[in-house]
A and B are shown apart, each in its own frame.
Chain A
Amino acid sequence: MPKAIDDWQGARSDSAAQPQMRTHVKSVSAFRALYEYAGPYRLTFLGVIGCTLLAIAADLLQPYLVKIVIDDHLMAGSQDYGTMLVIAGVYLALALGGLLFTYLQNNLLQFAAQSIIAAIRKRIFRHIMSQSMSYFNRVPSGSLITHVSSDTEALSAFFSQVLLSLLRDGMTLVFIVAVMFKLDVTLTLYCLCLLPVIALIAVSFRSYIRRTYQMARTNLSRLIAFTAENLAGMGLIQAFHQEKEQQSQFLVRNRAYFKANIREVRSNVLFNRSYEILGNLAVAFVTWLGGKAVLGGGIELGVLYAFITYIRQFFQPINNITQQWNTLQSANVSASRIWGIFATEPEVKDAPEPVVPDESQVKGKLDFERITFGYAPDQPVIRDVSLQVRPGEMIGIVGTTGAGKSSLIGLMCRFYDVWSGNVRIDGTDVRDIPQQKLQRMIGLVQQEPYLFSGSIVDNVRLFDESIPREEAVAACRLVGADALIRRMKDGYDTRLTDRGSGLSAGERQLISFARIVVFKPKILILDEATANLDSHTEQLLQSALNYVSRGRTTLVIAHRLSTVMHADRILVMKAGQIVEQGKHAELLARRGYYEELYRHSQGRHTG
């Protein structure tokens, strides 16, 4: 399967060709995230609970004060205005307390929650970054981004909404039930009979609501994706006069989103109204039961009155909590996904007892010994290849797409591990060298240089502040990029945006050469580094290339033979094997595969 071969250098992999990796991690509840990370914030959480209790108390005591005024003063016909003012004063104090504690509770909780989310986000990112290259080829970058942004957002919503509601509404509920018990045990028990009904409604609606919610979300993201793509390709749509056709495709998606939405709205309204109705029916129920009890002399009038008030308050917190159900569910799904990431181990691992080479002593001698390798089982793309490269030698590798050129490089950089055989640098198996060291020993320049958003100088030193600015500037001078950079608005501090879209492909490549000069790898690999360029920039690049390859073992992969004609040795690859090797003239004289390739390319140049 040739298309899989140049995978690791492609911008994104063709992940659909292989079954999507579904990590079978058991589902993780959002509470586990809380449990694992709450440790350092134990005191803060205690403070939150304390404040919540105080805030609820201050809240619920306020009506009680009004009751005192009515029953003990106005009803009793007292004329003591002074005490009433005192009560008003207490009321004010309670109200202020409520204000303060609600405020504190919210702030403390959010502080702890946001700190935890930040920690989780950093950990996910670090963990993803530690994965091997094959992971990035297999998992679409879109889904990685989803983990970092949406999934953590869902967890964040868990903290800011679910947890808050559980604390506040849960405690209020407990408080109300306690008061109800105190008022009348039998009546309370009757009321608690409603709980199974509430549970039934919640359970029966739960999965339905969740389904409708997710359908609406899926339809929305489809609509957004479609729109974004069509706006991006609008020029093309117009050039092909396909406006009508694309409009009608848009209509289909727009309509589907509308329908999914209406379903979601309908189920939500139905759910909330069922609750509402249940609450009102409960009042009717209590009136009936209580009225009969009063008639029989079972309870007092005042108790019944208070009871009716409380049963109505009883449903509010339950309703609030159930409204959090969707949020909790998506937080659970997200937590499962996040912990699934945490459970993923990098496929290429450092040896338990690594050999740490002395960086200044690296010579750059390469040995490939009988290596075999493939991306999919039973489909080797490199078959039993052996190769020795002397320090400082320049090797050209040619062959058609899919011959195994890039795979060879991938094995050397340990993006993948060989099936059998070994790759050695200065006699040390690459698998014994710590990956960080190995990567610094080998420099790789690819066809599409990647620039980060940031200043030019930072792009050259890759944001590593320990590398002095002067060194980055010097590197740019050496590769001949200095004049070009100085012409820009802010010189070396010019901020690149959108992956360096302001620069031409060749100029971007020059910057990636400067990186090589700064990081000083002993071995240099150029993978189609000068292909697909404007002829003028190509010339500029060639002299830069000339500079960076000096004193380094250099491997050059090229489609165009002219690029490698002057190499010390040219390897010709075909179907995963080295079929010919030697100098340009020798290979031509042999009249083999190389000569055939050369004829094609010559035909291209001179007709």
Chain B
Amino acid sequence: MHLEIDRGIVGLCEKGERGAERKCDKLKPVRLLLDFLRVRWYFYLLGIAIITSANLFYAYYPKVLGSFTDTLKRGELTGSSVVDYSVQLMIIGLSYGILGGIGQFIIVYLGRSFENVARRRLFGHLTLLSEHYYSKKGVGHFLSYMMNDVTAVRESLAMGVNQTTNATILMVSAVAMMLSSDIPLYVIAVCILPLLLIPFIVVKIGPVIRQRSLDTRDALSRMTESAEEQFAGIRVTKKFAVEDVMNGRFGDTVDAIRDRQIRLIRVSSLFQALIPFLGALSLIVTLAFGGYHALHGTITLGSFVALTLYIRMMINPLQAVGNVINSMQRSRASLDRLNGLFATLPDIRESDQAVALDMGKAAIEVEGLSFSYPDTDSESLHDVSITVQPGKTLGIVGKTGSGKTTLVKLLLRIYDPPAGTIRIGGVDVRDLKLESLRSGIAYVPQDGFLFSTTIRENIAFYRRDSDLESVENAARLAQIHASIAEFPDRFETKLGERGVTLSGGQRQRTSLARGLIKQAPILVLDDSVSAVDAVTEKRIIDSIRQDRSGKTTLIIAHRISALKHADEIIVLDEGRIVQRGRHEELLKQDGVYRALHAIQEEGSRVAQGY
């Protein structure tokens, strides 16, 4: 099964890209950033041009100031030239400020717009990936792609362009001016030598700082997790009065943060102090070496002063170069991860020949179905065959892990069943259009997952513009209408962290309403009423029977009471059908079903033991 999926991916790759598997991996990757640059390159050009012109303006600044000083020195200053110089300085200041601001804004804007586009594409891609990926890696993993990796690429894109442009212009002009002066090349080379260590040090220490700051982040999130856990378990803590022990546990995570922070500051403060120190070292060499040459008249005093100024000018751009290198390295890893994700092809895909099907009169046929989850050896289902005629009700019972939910997931094609094993209306589910498959089947999962939006929107999930009346009807069928009606905002009540939190039973019933409103030809209840009490369960089952008469219904449950009315009941045990028949027939047989029934009837009484 797993191999088949893999082959599918490779196959499609080859077909689509006409290249080897390797090439296919490489082709998608670069696209995220390249696609963006291909469309926006001229904006980048514009931004860079504006920043460059701002810097060119700024290069005049020392020159104007110098010329002003020289005029002063020569005693040629007049009232009007003072005004002239001031106006020149003002114009330069304004132009640099405004142009630089515009340039910076353009580059940052482009970075943000990359982020925007990348997240949009990413989310679209994530909706294609099947449950398999999410259950394997966890939601947090994919969230981190969406947030951290995209942000890392954006940051280095904006910062890289801005700083590289600035640093390049500054360095080029500094070097050009030094070369055009009368200072001998070897003097320049010797004086600059310590500075050249700067990018080296940045590249060396930068990653260490980063690692330690990641460690600190880790410690922080561990503390947050600990707090989360403690607050969620507050009832246990309070009830056993072990607050002190829990305070101690939490305290350990707090101390870990402090220790890591101090470790981080040790290297980062060293780094911060080291850069100016190297600048100073360069100046010391200039003092000793350049001063020697100045004393002996090899270079002029003016050149000596200029040399010290240029050295100062080089410190910042050199540091920026180091920073850019680091940030590029980081974001390269992120970009690779992102592109890797884009290269993951969804394992459930509509085939090109997929057909649409109206499931109104379609029978469900399962034939010789065996299935094991990707990456596992053991079979979850073995040789299962079932036929459900249109309009009939099938009950599936079995204990946890017997394969009930797996069967439903295969029917819905959340996982791919082996070819030809599951047919609806005579068509292999793998050849059905996903749209007609999933709108033809209403699925009510056990966990009662609801979104943080209004109750109405949750129930009308399938068709958001459903009118209130049909929403209310569905709620009534699911026996949740009365509870909702008690909320001040009724169906407009918000759910989630910022709103009302429903109890497990209420969640299940809302989720049930969400499935019922679909009025789909096939309804699948996957242990959908396990958290409601017996009286309510009975009412729900009754109203479902009424609502679903003439329509196909699959009920999965571990409580027999929920499905004993079914036209056929199959008993699953370790992935195999061990019994099948109607409730009364099964009770007559000596088997799992009767045992289960006995336990559910008697279990509580026996054990009370008084």
B120 at the A/B interface (Cβ < 8 Å)? yes
**Distance (Å) between the CB of A494 and the closest chain B CB?**
17
Whether B501 contacts A91 by the Cβ 8 Å rule is no
Question: Assuming the A-B contacts A251-B120, A291-B77, A546-B608, are A234 and B247 also in contact, with contact meaning beta carbons closer than 8 angstroms in the complex?
Answer: no
B601 at the A/B interface (Cβ < 8 Å)? yes
User: For residue A269, which residues in chain B have a CB less than 8 angstroms away from its CB?
Assistant: 101, 104-105, 108
Interface string of B115-148 (1 = CB under 8 A from A): 1100110011011111100100001001100110
Whether B243 contacts A129 by the Cβ 8 Å rule is yes
Option from A125, A254, A539 in Cβ contact (under 8 Å) with B250: A125
Top 3 closest pairs, chain A to chain B, by CB: A542-B607, A280-B93, A106-B269
**Distance (Å) between the CB of B555 and the closest chain A CB?**
15
Whether B283 contacts A452 by the Cβ 8 Å rule is no
B491 at the A/B interface (Cβ < 8 Å)? no
Which of the candidate stretches B168-176, B199-207, B222-230 sits at the interface with the other chain?
Answer: B222-230
B85 at the A/B interface (Cβ < 8 Å)? yes
Interface string of A391-426 (1 = CB under 8 A from B): 000100000110000000000010100000000000
How many Å lie between the Cα of A425 and that of B147 in the bound state?
54
Whether A95 contacts B277 by the Cβ 8 Å rule is yes
Closest residue of chain A to B398 (Cβ to Cβ) is: A534
User: For residue A464, which residues in chain B have a CB less than 8 angstroms away from its CB?
Assistant: 242, 245
Whether B97 contacts A280 by the Cβ 8 Å rule is yes
Closest residue of chain A to B435 (Cβ to Cβ) is: A241
User: For residue A515, which residues in chain B have a CB less than 8 angstroms away from its CB?
Assistant: 236, 240
Option from B123, B277, B506, B605 in Cβ contact (under 8 Å) with A227: B123
Option from A133, A288, A499, A534 in Cβ contact (under 8 Å) with B83: A288
A575 at the A/B interface (Cβ < 8 Å)? no
Which residue of B73, B266, B604 has the most chain A CB atoms within 10 A of its CB atom? B604
**Distance (Å) between the CB of A402 and the closest chain B CB?**
10
B237 at the A/B interface (Cβ < 8 Å)? yes
Question: Assuming the A-B contacts A69-B291, A74-B304, are A103 and B143 also in contact, with contact meaning beta carbons closer than 8 angstroms in the complex?
Answer: no
User: For residue B228, which residues in chain A have a CB less than 8 angstroms away from its CB?
Assistant: 141, 145
Whether B276 contacts A239 by the Cβ 8 Å rule is no
Interface string of A245-284 (1 = CB under 8 A from B): 1110011001101100110011001101110110111011
B63 at the A/B interface (Cβ < 8 Å)? no
Question: Assuming the A-B contacts A62-B280, A103-B273, are A129 and B123 also in contact, with contact meaning beta carbons closer than 8 angstroms in the complex?
Answer: no
Whether A122 contacts B250 by the Cβ 8 Å rule is yes
B49 at the A/B interface (Cβ < 8 Å)? no
15 A/B residue pairs, CB under 8 Å, sorted by A: A65-B287, A74-B304, A84-B291, A114-B257, A129-B243, A153-B220, A243-B128, A250-B120, A257-B116, A265-B109, A284-B87, A439-B240, A453-B229, A534-B399, A535-B399
Whether A107 contacts B439 by the Cβ 8 Å rule is no
8 more contacts with CB within 8 A, not counting A232-B139, A280-B90, A604-B534, are A145-B228, A227-B143, A245-B464, A250-B120, A394-B610, A415-B238, A504-B400, A538-B603
A301 at the A/B interface (Cβ < 8 Å)? yes
User: For residue A546, which residues in chain B have a CB less than 8 angstroms away from its CB?
Assistant: 607-609
Whether A125 contacts B247 by the Cβ 8 Å rule is yes
Interface size on B, residues (CB 8 A): 164
Option from A255, A532, A538 in Cβ contact (under 8 Å) with B116: A255
Which residue of B238, B283, B451, B602 has the most chain A CB atoms within 10 A of its CB atom? B238
Whether B503 contacts A231 by the Cβ 8 Å rule is no
Question: Assuming the A-B contacts A59-B276, A535-B558, are A277 and B93 also in contact, with contact meaning beta carbons closer than 8 angstroms in the complex?
Answer: yes
B27 at the A/B interface (Cβ < 8 Å)? no
Whether B273 contacts A102 by the Cβ 8 Å rule is yes
Question: Assuming the A-B contacts A142-B497, A280-B96, A604-B537, are A133 and B238 also in contact, with contact meaning beta carbons closer than 8 angstroms in the complex?
Answer: yes
Question: Assuming the A-B contacts A95-B281, A122-B254, are A3 and B610 also in contact, with contact meaning beta carbons closer than 8 angstroms in the complex?
Answer: no
User: For residue A273, which residues in chain B have a CB less than 8 angstroms away from its CB?
Assistant: 97-98, 100-101
User: For residue A107, which residues in chain B have a CB less than 8 angstroms away from its CB?
Assistant: 262, 265-266, 269
Which residue of A13, A280, A519, A546 has the most chain B CB atoms within 10 A of its CB atom? A280
Closest residue of chain A to B255 (Cβ to Cβ) is: A118
**Distance (Å) between the CB of B76 and the closest chain A CB?**
11
**Distance (Å) between the CB of A21 and the closest chain B CB?**
15
User: For residue A288, which residues in chain B have a CB less than 8 angstroms away from its CB?
Assistant: 82-83, 85-86
User: For residue A103, which residues in chain B have a CB less than 8 angstroms away from its CB?
Assistant: 269-270, 273
Which of the candidate stretches B417-425, B480-488, B543-551 sits at the interface with the other chain?
Answer: B480-488
A305 at the A/B interface (Cβ < 8 Å)? yes
Option from B220, B412, B488 in Cβ contact (under 8 Å) with A17: B488
B249 at the A/B interface (Cβ < 8 Å)? yes
Question: Assuming the A-B contacts A110-B261, A273-B100, A464-B245, are A228 and B139 also in contact, with contact meaning beta carbons closer than 8 angstroms in the complex?
Answer: yes
How many Å lie between the Cα of A305 and that of B73 in the bound state?
11
Which residue of B68, B273, B561 has the most chain A CB atoms within 10 A of its CB atom? B273
Interface size on A, residues (CB 8 A): 179
Interface string of B5-35 (1 = CB under 8 A from A): 0000000000000000000000000000000
Option from B61, B237, B269, B564 in Cβ contact (under 8 Å) with A129: B237
Whether A535 contacts B599 by the Cβ 8 Å rule is yes
User: For residue B235, which residues in chain A have a CB less than 8 angstroms away from its CB?
Assistant: 8-9, 133, 136, 444, 446, 450
Whether A81 contacts B295 by the Cβ 8 Å rule is yes
User: For residue A111, which residues in chain B have a CB less than 8 angstroms away from its CB?
Assistant: 262
A224 at the A/B interface (Cβ < 8 Å)? yes
Whether B223 contacts A130 by the Cβ 8 Å rule is no
A211 at the A/B interface (Cβ < 8 Å)? no
Option from B85, B283, B288, B599 in Cβ contact (under 8 Å) with A287: B85
B308 at the A/B interface (Cβ < 8 Å)? yes
A75 at the A/B interface (Cβ < 8 Å)? yes
Which residue of A394, A565, A566 has the most chain B CB atoms within 10 A of its CB atom? A566
B452 at the A/B interface (Cβ < 8 Å)? yes
Closest residue of chain A to B228 (Cβ to Cβ) is: A145
Question: Assuming the A-B contacts A10-B503, A534-B399, are A565 and B605 also in contact, with contact meaning beta carbons closer than 8 angstroms in the complex?
Answer: yes
Whether A231 contacts B143 by the Cβ 8 Å rule is yes
B246 at the A/B interface (Cβ < 8 Å)? yes
How many Å lie between the Cα of A16 and that of B220 in the bound state?
29
**Distance (Å) between the CB of B577 and the closest chain A CB?**
19
How many Å lie between the Cα of A528 and that of B251 in the bound state?
34
A530 at the A/B interface (Cβ < 8 Å)? yes
Whether A262 contacts B533 by the Cβ 8 Å rule is no
**Distance (Å) between the CB of A256 and the closest chain B CB?**
11
User: For residue A228, which residues in chain B have a CB less than 8 angstroms away from its CB?
Assistant: 139, 143
Question: Assuming the A-B contacts A14-B500, A79-B295, are A254 and B399 also in contact, with contact meaning beta carbons closer than 8 angstroms in the complex?
Answer: no
How many Å lie between the Cα of A559 and that of B537 in the bound state?
12
**Distance (Å) between the CB of B482 and the closest chain A CB?**
9
Whether A535 contacts B596 by the Cβ 8 Å rule is yes
A292 at the A/B interface (Cβ < 8 Å)? yes
Option from A91, A145, A436 in Cβ contact (under 8 Å) with B280: A91
A173 at the A/B interface (Cβ < 8 Å)? no
Closest residue of chain A to B123 (Cβ to Cβ) is: A250
Whether B229 contacts A604 by the Cβ 8 Å rule is no
Q: Give residues 261-279 of B contacting A (CB, 8 Å).
A: 261-262, 265-266, 268-270, 272-274, 276-277
How many Å lie between the Cα of A146 and that of B605 in the bound state?
46
User: For residue B344, which residues in chain A have a CB less than 8 angstroms away from its CB?
Assistant: none
A601 at the A/B interface (Cβ < 8 Å)? yes
User: For residue A40, which residues in chain B have a CB less than 8 angstroms away from its CB?
Assistant: none
Option from B101, B238, B499 in Cβ contact (under 8 Å) with A439: B238
A349 at the A/B interface (Cβ < 8 Å)? no
B498 at the A/B interface (Cβ < 8 Å)? yes
How many Å lie between the Cα of A239 and that of B445 in the bound state?
10
How many Å lie between the Cα of A494 and that of B108 in the bound state?
50
How many Å lie between the Cα of A450 and that of B232 in the bound state?
8
Q: Give residues 362-391 of A contacting B (CB, 8 Å).
A: none
Option from B97, B239, B399 in Cβ contact (under 8 Å) with A536: B399
B337 at the A/B interface (Cβ < 8 Å)? no
Question: Assuming the A-B contacts A241-B439, A261-B112, are A600 and B82 also in contact, with contact meaning beta carbons closer than 8 angstroms in the complex?
Answer: no
How many Å lie between the Cα of A145 and that of B246 in the bound state?
15
Interface string of A522-556 (1 = CB under 8 A from B): 00000000101011101101110110000000000
Question: Assuming the A-B contacts A16-B499, A235-B131, A258-B112, are A117 and B258 also in contact, with contact meaning beta carbons closer than 8 angstroms in the complex?
Answer: yes
User: For residue A446, which residues in chain B have a CB less than 8 angstroms away from its CB?
Assistant: 235
